[in-house]
Structure 1
Amino acid sequence: MTVNAPKTNGQQPRRLLLVSVPRTASNLLLKVLNISNQPNLITSPKCGYFFYDAFMTAAKDGRLSRPLDQWTADEKNETKSTFQRCFNELEEYTTRATAENKTMFAKEHAFWFVNPGAFTRSLGDTDTPDDLKEFHISLPGSYGPTQTFSANNQTVLSDEYLRTWQISFIIRHPALAWPSLYRAMQKLLKEGFIDDDGVKGVSIVNMTLTYSRNLFDWCIEQPDESVTPLVIDAHDVIHNRAVVTKFCEMAGLDPTAMQYEWSGAKPQSDHASLGDAEEQKRIAIFLSTLQESTGIVKEKAPASVDIDAEVAKWRVEFGDDVAQLLEKATRDSMPDYEYLKAHKVVV
C-alpha cells in the first residue's frame, strides 16, 4: 500500500501530488476544489506542471522516437539538466511549504516525469538499467543516502522521494479523452504551433494510461502500512458532488472551500497570465471550455460510452485514418482504465 506524506495537523498531508493525463478534466477538478484558495496550502501559479519543460525537452527533435544509444551526448545532457532544473523549482516550493507548515500541492501529467528511457525501450533498443541512471534526479541529502528505483517506478524520481508524497490520480474514459485531445492538437496545428507529424506523435505518446497505472501499482506495492492511493473519475467530477467532496476530504483538503460556480472571466492568477503570448495561446486552447464556463458543463460526460458508436462518429469527424488511430489508442487503454476505475473513490 502507498505511503502517506508527513502530516501537518490532523489529516492534512504535507505533499499531495495529483497525477493526470491530458483531457481528463483535471483542471476542472482543481477549479471545483478551488486549489488556489485552499487554506493552509501552497502551490505554483500553474498548480503544478513543474515537469512540462523537461518532457518537452525530452520530446524535441524526435528524441523519443530514437533509442537512447542514438541520442547525442548534448541531447542527453540537455534533457538531464532540464529535468534537474524542473525538480529544483519543485523543491523550492516544497521546502517553503514545509517551512510554513502547509500542504504542498502539485498536478503533473504522468508521462512528464517518466524517465525518457522508458519511452525508448518500447522501440526495441538495448538500453540497460545503467543507461537510465543518467536521467535520475540528484536529490538533496535530506532524502537519505540511497536512491532506489523499483520495477514500477519508471520516473526520474527515486522510490525514497516519491514516498514523501501522497499520490492521487484522475482518469477519464479513453473514448472521451483521446478524441478531445486530438481536437486540441488540431487547433494547435491550425495556429501553427505543431505540424501534422507532431499531431500524430504527440497524440500517440499522450493517449495512454500505462504510466498512471504503473505509478498506481508502485504506490500499492510500497512496504509501509498506509492507504491505497486516491483515484477519481472525470465522470464523477462532473456528475457526483458527493464523490468530489469525499475525495477532497480524503486528500486532506478543506471541502468548505469547494465551488461549483465561478465567473466566466479569467482571473489574473490563471495560466494565461503566465509565459509569453504564444504559450498563452496554447494554454487557452486546452482550457477554452473551462475558461468560458461559469460552472460544470455536464454534457461533456455522457452517462454511458459505446466505443463502436464513438468510432463511427470519429470516421465522420476525422476520417478513417485518424479514427483508426483513436480506436486503437482507446481499446489499448481500456484495460488500464478499467483497472484504475475499479479503485476509484465511491460513496
Structure 2
Amino acid sequence: MASYLVPPNDHSTYQHAKLAPSVAPRMAAMNGNGVHAKENPTVLPLSVLKQFQFAFLIRNPRKAVPSYYRCCIPPLNDMTGFKYFMPNEAGYRELRALFDYLLEEGVIEHPLKGNMGSATNDANGNAHANGARETNGAKQTNGSAGTKYRACVIDADDLLDHPKEIVQRFCEMVGLDFDESMLEWNANKGCESFDKWKGFHEDAIGSSGLRPRTVKKTQGPAEEREGWVQKYGEEGARVIEKTAQENMEDYEYLKQFKVTI
C-alpha cells in the first residue's frame, strides 16, 4: 500500500509530496506551509511515520503484474471495479522510495547492521493493516526516539515455500509470539475485511491456511510470455512484460534485504 503514501510519477506532486489534508493542519507548526522537505517522498510527516513498525511484502513482478492485470480486465473487473490497467500502479517504485526513506531516517535498521535483530517488549501496540504496528513507546515513536527495528522484508515466494519458518521469523522480528494457529483459518472467515477489495483476494478468502506449495513453476521468460499471450492476447502480453521489466530493478533491490531462514 506504499503507493497510497507516495504520489505516482505522473502526478504534479511527484518528488514534492504534500501532506495529506487530514494531518496538514495539526502539523503546520512543524511543517511550515504543509510541504514536505524534498527528501520525504510521502504524504505523511516523519513524526507520523515513526509511530508505526513497518513490514514489506514483495513479489516478483513477473508474477505480480499479470495477477494485477487480470483484475483489470473482463470478467474479473466487474467485481474489482478496476476498468483498465495502469502500469504505474505496480507500486514497486513507491515501496522502494518508502523503504529507503525509513532506512535513511533510522525508522528501520539495515538488516545486516549490528545486533538490531528482533523487536522487544518496548513495542506494545495494536496491529494495523499492511504489516505496520503502532507503537506505544515513551515518545510514541520508533526511530531515534524509540525502539528501532531491523528492516523486515518478506518475499512472497519464500512465504509460499516455507510458510511456517517465514511466519516464525516475521513474528520474531516484530515482537509477536508465534503460534501454529497463525497458519490456519476457517475458509471465508473475516472476508468482510476485504469487501473494499472484492476480486483481488478471492484465492485467500476461499483458502483455509498456509501450507508449503508442492509444485513450483519453473517456466522461463519465453514460456511465461507465451502463457500471457494465450490468456491476454499479444497486446496484453506486451504491456505485462514491459511493466514487469520496468519494476524488476526495484524488486531486486528490495529483495536483497529479505528475511532468510
TM-score for both structures, normalised by structure 1 = 0.54
Q: From the two aligned structures, give the one with the greater helix fraction.
A: 1
Q: Which runs of 5+ in 1 are unaligned?
A: 1-108, 275-279
- In structure 1, distance between residues paired with 2:42 and 2:4: 9
**In the alignment, is residue 157 of structure 1 matched against residue 50 of structure 2?**
no
Contact 1:230 1:344 in 2 (8 A): yes
* Amino acid of the structure 2 residue aligned with 1:319: G
SS in structure 1 opposite 2:54? strand
For 1:213, the equivalent position in structure 2 comes to 96
- In structure 1, distance between residues paired with 2:223 and 2:69: 18
**In the alignment, is residue 255 of structure 1 matched against residue 147 of structure 2?**
no
SS in structure 2 opposite 1:177? helix
SS in structure 1 opposite 2:85? helix
* Amino acid of the structure 2 residue aligned with 1:307: P
Shift of 1:192: 8.7
Contact 2:6 2:98 in 1 (8 A): no
- In structure 1, distance between residues paired with 2:214 and 2:168: 20
* Amino acid of the structure 1 residue aligned with 2:84: V
Shift of 1:332: 0.9
Contact 2:153 2:257 in 1 (8 A): yes
Shift of 1:190: 4.1
SS in structure 1 opposite 2:23? coil
Quick one: which of 30, 34, 41 aligns to 1:146?
Answer: 30
Shift of 1:215: 0.6
What do residues 46-99 of structure 1 show as CA deviations (whole Å, max 9, x unaligned)? xxxxxxxxxxxxxxxxxxxxxxxxxxxxxxxxxxxxxxxxxxxxxxxxxxxxxx
* Structural RMSD (CA): 3.2
Contact 2:19 2:43 in 1 (8 A): no
Contact 2:7 2:42 in 1 (8 A): yes
Pairs aligned (count): 217
Shift of 1:159: 1.6
Q: Which runs of 5+ in 2 are unaligned?
A: 107-142
TM-score for both structures, normalised by structure 2 = 0.70
Shift of 1:299: 5.1
Contact 1:149 1:159 in 2 (8 A): no
**In the alignment, is residue 322 of structure 1 matched against residue 245 of structure 2?**
no
What do residues 204-243 of structure 1 show as CA deviations (whole Å, max 9, x unaligned)? 2322300000011001101556344210011122111212
Contact 2:80 2:199 in 1 (8 A): no
What do residues 279-312 of structure 1 show as CA deviations (whole Å, max 9, x unaligned)? x4x6342221112222236559836563332112
Is the alpha carbon distance of 1:322 and 1:190 closer, same or farther for their aligned partners in structure 2, counting shifts above 3 Å? same
Is the alpha carbon distance of 1:128 and 1:200 closer, same or farther for their aligned partners in structure 2, counting shifts above 3 Å? closer
What do residues 128-164 of structure 1 show as CA deviations (whole Å, max 9, x unaligned)? 94xx5374542586x7941373545322101222122
Is the alpha carbon distance of 1:311 and 1:208 closer, same or farther for their aligned partners in structure 2, counting shifts above 3 Å? farther
Contact 2:149 2:174 in 1 (8 A): no
- In structure 1, distance between residues paired with 2:77 and 2:153: 32
Contact 1:136 1:157 in 2 (8 A): no
Quick one: which of 151, 159, 182 aligns to 1:237?
Answer: 159
Which of the pair has the greater relative contact order for Cα pairs under 8 Å at 6+ separation?
1
What do residues 229-275 of structure 1 show as CA deviations (whole Å, max 9, x unaligned)? 210011122111212211112111221264223222x23x4326x8x
Equivalent residues in 2 for 1:171-320, closer than 5 Å:
171-186=58-73, 187-191=75-79, 193-194=81-82, 198-201=83-86, 204-223=87-106, 226-240=148-162, 241-256=164-179, 258-264=181-187, 266-267=188-189, 269-271=190-192, 280=195, 283-296=197-210, 302=216, 304=218, 306-320=220-234
What do residues 12-68 of structure 1 show as CA deviations (whole Å, max 9, x unaligned)? xxxxxxxxxxxxxxxxxxxxxxxxxxxxxxxxxxxxxxxxxxxxxxxxxxxxxxxxx
For 2:119, the equivalent position in structure 1 comes to none
Contact 2:65 2:244 in 1 (8 A): yes
